[in-house]
Structure 1
Amino acid sequence: MTPKSLITADESLPALERLIASAQTELLMSFPALDPNAPLCEQALRERGLETWADLIALVARRGVRIQMLIADFDPQFASASHRKAWAAASGFADVAQGDTQILCAPHTHRAGAFWNLFMGRSLRRAIRAIKADDSTALTPVQRRVLSTGPELRPALVRQKFAIADGHSSVVGGVDIEHHQTMPDDDVSAPTELRHDLSVLIEDADYCGALRSHFAECWNAAIDAGLKSLAAHPTRFDTAKKPQSRADLRLVRTMSQPAKGFAQLGPKPVVRDHETNVLRIVEQARRYLYIETQFLRHGPVIDALCAAAAAVPELQVVIVLPAASAQIHPASEAGWNTRHGHALQVKAVDKLRASFGKRIAFVSPKHTATHQESKPSIGSGVLICDDRLAMVGSFNLNGRSMLWDSEVSVLVKDPGFAADLLSRLAAKWIGDTAYDPRLAVTWDTAAGLNDPGATIAPYAHKDAKQLARKARLLPDALF
């Protein structure tokens, strides 16, 4: 079956819920945002009396399906709110778990070397004081351990987003399951760009077999790191066999392992499929590249794009990025990591504009008059090349995604899929147009004229430029 693109949460969430509900023997899930209180969007499930994701998981568990949920954990000091949210989610699902339901709240297994505890001592002490000042009942087991044994710096993340039912059906991409997601009947005026959540529905035994093998590696690594299930006892996978996906429907991964060393900051990259494939696609591009990414910061990718600009004078590039104001949170006072990250992005954007000139367009999701307080964002990575292939997944074009974080995507080599995906995204972002969406000028014009049919605006990074002046020089892969 040809993969099916799902370009908004209105499409991806019901499809994911149907996939979960269809599981008969095995359900595997790995998400960084998975809220048991999130309302269901699939009308057929709601008509059966199910209201939340906790209800859905409980229903599947009652059928005797083996469920293994890998909920990504976050740094317990510097990302305390996200860390507690992950533990609350895992606990919420554990409360309704039945039968063989196994739930791991899993950070990346790498810890930074002791030097970084010293280097970041002042910030860590401030974070620890904040944790101590909190209500003790709000602390997670990890935060209690940190207060007892000392800080745990975990610079890498488990960012992958996918679910597999019965080893032959999966949804892969940028979908997040959170309580604030709008249900179809709740707010019919809500613009679709606020729910831009691109995923791919894949019903293919080869791809799903390879993806299941990847999940098994992540799951076993979490158990080896000493993590305990919040529900049924976690059981290891047999990873002796390594199923492979097809060349025209390929599993793309980023994986890294813990690395030891006093001054070691990041983990050791062991699978760099995203970097390899992105560089190859850019090198082979001849007509156009369409890119959606939350971050644009990885030096080798920027250099490859600049080389392509010189080697292929006809090459057109469209890049959809969140506006700088949507990435910088004033409440955080834009710390050194934010400053350095945006310094890299400013440098990348300026370098690409100089290389491509009018052959490149940078655009951003646009706020709407009725939803000004929202922050339109890019929930998944997208790369389309020459109506020839498309890659969709959790990846971003930054060092983290290319080297450190756990990421998963699908690379579809199918002209029909690639052309249809570009057409659907163009219709979503720039509305009905008689002009070619493969041309940068089409996007620049739609964004610059504030066309009523467009949900994009010109990409602005003036704020990031101001922050960049105060950036510290740190390893680029951290950002």
Structure 2
Amino acid sequence: MAGADRKTRDAAEIYLTAAEAYPALEALFLEARSEISAGFRVFDIRTRLRGRGREVGRTWADLIGHTLARGVSFRLILADFDPVVRPSMHRETWRATASLMAAGEASGRPDLLSVIPAMHPARVGLGMRLAFWPKIAAKLRDEARRLNGLEAREAEDQLAHMPGLKPHLAGEHPHLRPKIWPVAPLIPASHHQKLAVFDRERLFIGGIDLNERRYDTPDHDRPGRDTWHDTQLLIEGPAAREAQAHLDTLLSVANARQEPPEMRHLLRTISTRHRHTGRFRLSPKTIEKGLEDAHIARARKARRLIYLETQFFRSLPVARALARAARDIPDLRLLLVLPGAPEDVAYDNAKEGDARYGEYLQAKCVHIVSKAFGDRAFVMAPGQPKHAGHKGRASLEEAPLVYLHAKVAIFDHDAVIISSANLNGRSLRWDTEAGVTLTEADTVQHLRYRCFAHWLPEDAEDAYFTDETAIAAWAALADRNAERDPDDREGFVMRYPVAPARRFGRNLPGLPEELV
């Protein structure tokens, strides 16, 4: 077990990147005795097996079939997505569902498999949908045009896996077109959690989903657009039992059919549909924001060093809480690790309003904490120690960025929060999220060391790990790396480039920050 004591209820096994997490998940499926319950945003059983799972096959389809054939039940809540705004993700959810059901049939025990493609029940009000109708119609036209450009058989197959889109298209291939009425629904939230419970005793939880895109190694020695840094935990005890209760009740809670069960160990974000959808309502009803409250409460208690890794840093309440802590505690320091740019901006050249609004909010949040902490803060973006071969948002000082997806918060040597939630309004107020707080001293210290050491040169000195010297040491390393040829850099430490985010970002007054 990695740096933890199995006898301690708070003990945890810690996995950095899918190269560590995927083999661990395979082993958990092989070791399960009677039941597995899970909730993921993405669960693609075409993903290759990389650990002990290779004893039973080549892909996760083989492992799922083997698990069911052994008599172990598997229940999966799989996130579904707005078919208008995210048609490809909606399609992949239903393809994954069909693949899982086929694996269940092949196992001979389909009765032990339950796959629930779960779209969040909240809906945008009719008045707001009418206001957005030009954008809705444009999205539908784009998807109809794409489908019309496919071969007839391929288009038919794709539409078969898009049950939420089909009712809003008229005509036949290759003459599909948007229906004018009724106005398509818009779904403002999703189930973003990533967790699995094994035999109601062991909990696998954190930020990683299952597919080939998310596979990476701690060396991050891949093309920049293929890198993916994540953190996952395996924990036992009360948190696992509460996670089981969370999964058992989630759909009823989200549909406002019951109150959420009280939790002492599992941190969550949960929202539900409003019982009466107002015409101009845009947001779901937040009923639990334990993850936001925990981050803010721990920030207020911190006295020496806060370390954060997050895909998005867009929550103004969290940024302002950190700023207050900086003003109240003169010795408090902040080490913030962000990807150099959002994935869609870096690799897909996204320029839509939501991408710009997200960058606006992130630049604002970085400014808030940087102004409050001054030289007691360092904001980092990981970059590979090699030439990018290109410029733009996908590079940092001529090196490929390492895409960071982890959600880790470490407060002094006292507590660690690991979850599926980014530090943005969407994760902390709207989407379904789940995480845990670890406070056992050895576990906290081990995780802190691993997170720090992951980005640093192998021979990193104590100054990089010590509360009083870490900020200056990391900043100096980033500056040395920027002056060197990318091939000669040490570790992954670079400065986060806030200026491009500020230039690209655009405020959208009147829209809630939770939208992005």
TM-score, normalised on structure 1? 0.89
> 2:494 matched to which residue of 1?
457
Residue 34 of structure 1: aligned partner = 43
1:89 aligned to 74, 92, 96, which one?
A: 96
Paired residue type of 2:464: D
- The equivalent position to 1:360 in structure 2, one of 373, 377, 389, is 377
Q: How many residues align?
A: 457
Q: How far, CA to CA, are the matches of 1:109 and 1:240 in structure 2? A: 15
Aligned residue identity for 1:254: T
Q: Which residue identity lines up with residue 268 of structure 1 in the other structure?
A: K
Distance between the aligned counterparts of 1:13 and 1:330, measured in 2? 25
Read off the aligned partner of 1:300 and give its amino acid letter. Answer: P
| Aligned counterparts of 1:9 and 1:262: Cα–Cα separation in 2 | 43
Judged with a 3 Å threshold, the aligned counterparts in structure 2 of structure 1 residues 127 and 302 are, in CA distance, closer, same or farther, namely same
The reply to whether residue 258 of structure 1 matches residue 273 of structure 2 is: yes
1:403 aligned partner: 429
- Matched to 1:59, the amino acid is H
User: For residue 163 of structure 2, what is the aligned residue in structure 1?
Assistant: 141
Please tell me whether residue 17 in structure 1 is matched to residue 26 in structure 2. Answer: yes
CA distance in 2, matches of 1:323, 1:189: 17
**Is the partner of 2:111 in helix, strand or coil?**
coil
Instruction: Tell me the CA shift for residue 241 of structure 1.
Output: 11
Query: In structure 1, what is the equivalent of residue 121 of structure 2?
Result: 109
For residues 241 and 109 of structure 1, the distance between their equivalents in structure 2, rounded to whole angstroms, comes to: 15
Larger radius of gyration: 2
CA distance in structure 1 between the partners assigned to 2:185 and 2:479 by the alignment: 46
Bigger mean CA offset, 147-156 vs 275-284: 147-156
State whether residues 393 and 409 of structure 1, in contact with CA within 8 Å, keep that contact through their aligned partners in structure 2.
yes
TM-score where L is the length of structure 2: 0.83
- Please say if residues 81 and 90 of structure 2, whose CA atoms lie closer than 8 Å, have aligned partners that are also in contact: yes
- Equivalent residue, structure 1, for 2:397: none
Q: Which residue of 2 aligns with 1:276?
A: 293
Contact kept? 1:10, 1:195, Cα under 8 Å: no
| Structure 2 CA distance for partners of 1:354 and 1:201, relative to 1, 3 Å | same
Structure 1 residues 419 and 106: alpha-carbon distance in aligned structure 2, compared to 1, 3 A threshold: same
Partner amino acid, structure 2, of 1:436:
Y
The one-letter amino acid paired with 2:138 is R
1:441 has 2:472 as partner: yes
Q: Which moved more, 1:302-311 or 1:211-220?
A: 211-220
CA drift of 1:333 comes to 4.2
Offset at residue 461 of structure 1 (A): 2.4
User: 1:369 aligns to what SS in structure 2?
Assistant: coil
Q: Which residue of 1 aligns with 2:318?
A: 301
Identify the match of residue 211 of structure 1 among 243, 252, 257: 243
Superposition deviation, residue 329 in structure 1: 4.8
Counterpart selection for 1:165 from 180, 188, 198: 198
User: More deviation in 463-472 or 380-389?
Assistant: 463-472
Identity %: 29
Residue 341 of structure 2: aligned partner: 324
1:344 aligns with 2:381: no
Q: Secondary structure at the match of 1:141?
A: coil
Per-residue deviation, residues 49-89 of structure 1 (Å, max 9, x unmatched): 41111111111111222211111111111111111112111
Deviates more, 1:421-430 or 1:368-377: 368-377
Work out which of the residue numbers 315, 329, 334 in structure 1 matches 2:332. 315
Instruction: Please give the per-residue CA displacement for 1:144-200, whole angstroms capped at 9, x wherever unaligned.
Output: 13337541211111110011111001110112211345588xx99549993422001
1:153 correspondence with 2:153: no
The equivalent residue for 1:50 is: 57
Give the deviation of 1:339 after TM superposition: 1.2
Deviations 1:417-446 (A, max 9, x none): 112111111111012311133321222122
Distance 2:508 2:307 in 1: 30
How well do the aligned residues superpose, as a CA RMSD in angstroms? 2.6
